[in-house]
Chain A
Amino acid sequence: MKDHVELRSGAYADSVTLLQVSRAVQAAPGVVAAQVAMATGLNLEVLTGMGFEVPASSPNDMVVALRLDDDADVATALAAVDAALVPTRPSSGDTTQAPPRTTGAALRHGGPGAVVLVSVPGASATVEAMDALEAGHDVMVFSDNVPVAEEVALKTYAATRGALVMGPDCGTALLDGVGLGFANAVRPGRIGLVAASGTGCQQLLTLLHHAGETLEGVGVRHALGVGGRDLSSAVGGLATREALRRLDADADVDLVVVVSKPPAPEVAEALAREAEALDTPVELGLLGRGQRDLTAVAEAVLARLGHEAPQWPVHGADNTGPATGPLLRGLFVGGTLCDESMLMAAEALGPIRSNIPLADDLALGEELIVDDHVMVDFGDDALTQGRAHPMIDPSLRNEQIARAAADPATGVILLDLVLGHGAEPDPAAHLAPAITAARSERAIPVIVSLVGTDLDPQGLAAQRDALVAAGAEVHLSNAAATRRALDLLSRTSSRSEGAHQ
């Protein structure tokens, strides 16, 4: 082994650079030990400790101390020192920032009016939504499976800040024409919607858009989702109240429409009183036994604007023969559409089994198709835990369509298909084959409510044509579709053969 020690006067590098240089040189071939350092007292101590003999020096000298294998070349090792001393990285000035990791971080420098859309798994949604509220922003919580206590906490806090919490489990919002979540592209206008129901909102949007094709002045400015539980006893309409206040204050809104899944009676009463007190007229479309269906609500809105309702479109009626059995099987991706159909069907057929039943004793277990009239909401929390919403992942519903079709007791299959921003680019491409397969053995009537507009990215006509070609009868109005299914059942099967064989 041989030592090489040299002093470089006037050379300077900071200690961290030199530690790095030393490390780089230590890795060079033939180098046993290396220390490149300014000749300070401390460094001289270190060098002496390593066994180097350092000539007299001042702290402004750079010491290069190398210990080499006997056959190693000093010049090569010194070249390694020089290479390591040259800065390798040109200054790039690149300060590109990593994307924010929390909603709070994203809002740190955000504009004051930014709206936040949260769609992380439900267990983490509240935390992100709180970030938005703390920073003074409105938030839409698409996520479901958020505990109701957290929803109440979010909305109670929002009330102190004048912020709006849309959701949790809010599928749809339309703000100044910008759709969030699943939202249909519609013509702008002077109607404001408040919706405790995502697909109920979409049904109204699409019906009003359709009517507006021929009727002057029909269009929607805002649709504020509030989440399906907002009008429950636990939440007490906290977000609905704020949404009404916003729309009432909006000079560009002439008529407010509230649409909801069946609300808690006392909350509905309070809501009616509050609606009365507003300057802007309010049309209440609250689903429930004996209440109007969504299509009737749309017709009432049109009547308020001085219009007669149009004929709601139907396609593929030629496809539909008589019911092939006694039972109705409704398989929905839209919760409110399912609710609406169930309320209508229960009046005509009696008890309907469901995963979102009208009464507790009608609840379905894990078996989704039972020997009875059945309506399933595939968008319900219990069926979306750990999987995507059926508007994104249709596989679970398609399986159940096949099972219903294989059951000879099935008389009519009632389906929905929802278009709009956020939905599949071509949902009919998944549903049409399932319909074709269902009808391959027997000509089971398949009735579809297709909720969409001609402005939706999927193209309403193309989606409709695909479904019709597969053998479905396609309605724009879910109520009309349901009525048609009930009509087919009542004409073809006697009730005595019905539900319980």
Chain B
Amino acid sequence: MSTSAVTVGATTPTVVTCGADMFADAVAGQAVDVERVDWRPPMPGTQDHLAAVATDPRRPEANRRAVQAMLGVTAHLVDVAPASEVLGLEKGQFLHAGPPIEWERTSGPLRGALMGGAALEGLVEDPEDAVALFESGSSVSLEPCHHRSAVGPMAGVVTPSMWMWVLEDRATGKRTYCSLNEGLGKVLRYGAYGPDVLTRLRWMGDVLGPLLQAAVRGTEEASDVTGILTQMLQMGDEAHNRNRAGTLMLLRDLSPAMVGTIEGGGFGSKDVADALRFVGGNDHFFLNLAMPACKLALDAGRDVPGSTMVVAMARNGTDFGIQVSGTGDQWFTGPAQVAEGLFLGDYGPDDANPDIGDSAITETAGIGGFAMATAPAIVRLVGGSVPDALATTQRMHEITLAENPRWSVPVLEFQGTPTGIDVTKVCRTGILPQINTGMAGAVAGVGQVGAGLVTPPAEIFPQALAALAQAVPGRSL
């Protein structure tokens, strides 16, 4: 090297200061540009673990690998099929959202959804009778969706006869799954299980699922779900609480083949019309594709030793759990919080169940609440203003490892969405991931009571950090 190897002054007149203001003042007093870090002490009790993980020689490369693997995935819609076929789910086996939980600790909406699911599968005649079935536990089992490469919104209950979207990463052949969206209001995923709910589910199983299967199989070019996500973010959806543009783009992809099933596919024109009306009238329909697309990407970032990237955030209505790339399948859990937000009708905060659902997989991947700035139509849930929404997305950059170049935010100069939550950054800043969510009624059978915003319980991040510190080679803590 022949030029000056020390760079301040004329070449790059910038000093970043982190700590005492007097030193920043002293530098500024020398007519040098200073950027000040607004440093605050980390979450209590995390200092030693933070230092251990920061100096883990594997960490920088591990996080780069995890992020690259995540960003490298594209999800294509390749099939629609019953859970019994694609997940090997058998009668009596129930999947649910969030970390593992046993019947005794289940919340109202999860109970309601399990009861409805039991009736749907014919395990009981009346959903109310399912309580005894689950209490006995002899012929039924509960398992997180996440443990079978699936994700479920809200209660996330999946039973063998439910039809699932099948998404695939063409490069690796890996697949993820999610049920079909039922719409809003009194629906199974919000814990409602009345006759209307079951009637709709049966129609979805008898008509909608097979029709979509025929359409997907009959569509030459598999829908690029990641590509739709890219476009819908530019069209004002954040792909968690708002999926309107995504739903219509999916319909654009599938409707020709759906209509095509009338001839030769064995479907009547009324079936097709009902299906088109159902999908088009349900702004959340695409959510159930956004979620498994996010899971497919995040699963690629799993199991990188030394990586501090969060690969799943999920809630079962009782516990909020996260999984981290460097700590395998271990869940770190704390009590789920009740969302703050707006309520339907005369429901109020007392009616709401604590946070529930696997849908926070969207925030884990860098959309939903993290892409708040791109969805002006729903920013009022944040507290009322567009600047607040911009600030929310900007704030999430403080706790993430990367920007997603595919998912850009026009109003923020096309900056990529904040992507790859870093456990260490959450512990350092105390900034918690912002999650957009729906609110289920606390009582089984009620359904949706509102929508709003929630954060994970803070303590699960120091828990995960401690496990990461424990896993640093040569370090015993």
Q: Please list the residues of chain A having a beta carbon within 8 angstroms of any beta carbon in chain B.
A: 14, 16-17, 19-20, 23, 33, 35, 42, 45-47, 49-50, 89, 91-92, 94-108, 110-121, 123-124, 126-128, 130, 132, 134, 137-138, 142-143, 147, 149-150, 153-154, 156-157, 164, 175-181, 222, 224, 245-247, 249-252, 392, 421-422, 457
Contacts and interface: CB of A to CB of B under 8 A. Distances in A.
A117 B342 contact: no
A458 to B, nearest CB: 12
Nearest to B427: A127
B38 A101 contact: yes
Nearest to A132: B16
A102 B425 contact: yes
Interface stretch (B22-30, B313-321, B327-335, B362-370): B22-30
B381 A97 contact: no
A247 B5 CA distance: 7
A127 B19 contact: no
Contacts of A113: 7-8, 11-12, 14
12 contacts: A16-B377, A19-B451, A33-B346, A97-B391, A98-B395, A100-B37, A115-B16, A116-B17, A117-B15, A117-B19, A130-B54, A150-B51
Given A19-B343, A110-B16, A116-B16, 4 more contacts: A33-B346, A45-B185, A106-B37, A121-B41
A102 B23 contact: no
Contacts of B17: 116-117, 119
Q: Which 4 A-B pairs have the closest CB atoms?
A: A113-B12, A176-B9, A119-B19, A153-B55
Interface stretch (B42-50, B128-136, B223-231, B350-358): B42-50
Contact of A179 (B10, B12, B26, B41): B26
Nearest to B11: A113
B172 interface: no
Nearest to A162: B5
B60 interface: yes
Nearest to A26: B346
B39 interface: yes
Interface stretch (B85-93, B174-182, B259-267, B382-390): B382-390
A180 B15 contact: yes
Given A16-B380, A20-B342, A115 B37 contact: no
Interface residues on B, range: 35 or more
A112 B345 CA distance: 54
Nearest to B387: A94
Contacts of A250: 3-6
A249 to B, nearest CB: 4
B477 interface: no
Contacts of B387: 92, 94-96
A157 B38 contact: no
B12 A99 contact: no
A181 B15 contact: no
B47 A251 contact: no
B342 A120 contact: no
Contacts of A100: 35, 37-38, 398
Given A23-B342, A421-B30, A128 B39 contact: yes
Contacts of A98: 38, 391, 394-395
Given A16-B381, A126-B54, A249-B2, A99 B37 contact: yes
Nearest to A424: B22
A111 B10 CA distance: 13
B240 interface: no
A176 B346 contact: no
B6 A176 contact: yes
Contacts of A95: 387, 390, 411-412
Contacts of B50: 124, 127
A17 B7 CA distance: 52
Contacts of A50: 345-346
Contacts of A180: 15, 23, 27
A126 B18 contact: no
B342 A175 contact: no
Contact of B1 (A23, A164, A179, A249): A249
A296 to B, nearest CB: 27
A101 B39 CA distance: 5
B1 to A, nearest CB: 4
A114 B15 contact: yes
B424 A115 contact: no
A167 B444 CA distance: 60
Given A35-B345, A50-B345, A128 B18 contact: yes
A178 B30 contact: yes
A89 B30 CA distance: 41
Contacts of A142: 19-20, 23
Contacts of B10: 176
A361 B48 CA distance: 32
A123 B47 CA distance: 6
Nearest to A100: B37
A178 B27 contact: yes
Nearest to B401: A104
A421 B14 contact: no
B184 interface: yes
B57 interface: yes
A42 B345 contact: no
Contacts of B54: 126-127, 130
Contact of B16 (A23, A49, A106): A106
A269 B42 CA distance: 41
B4 A101 contact: no
Choose among B1, B16, B19, B431 the residue with the greatest number of A CB atoms under 10 Å from its CB: B16
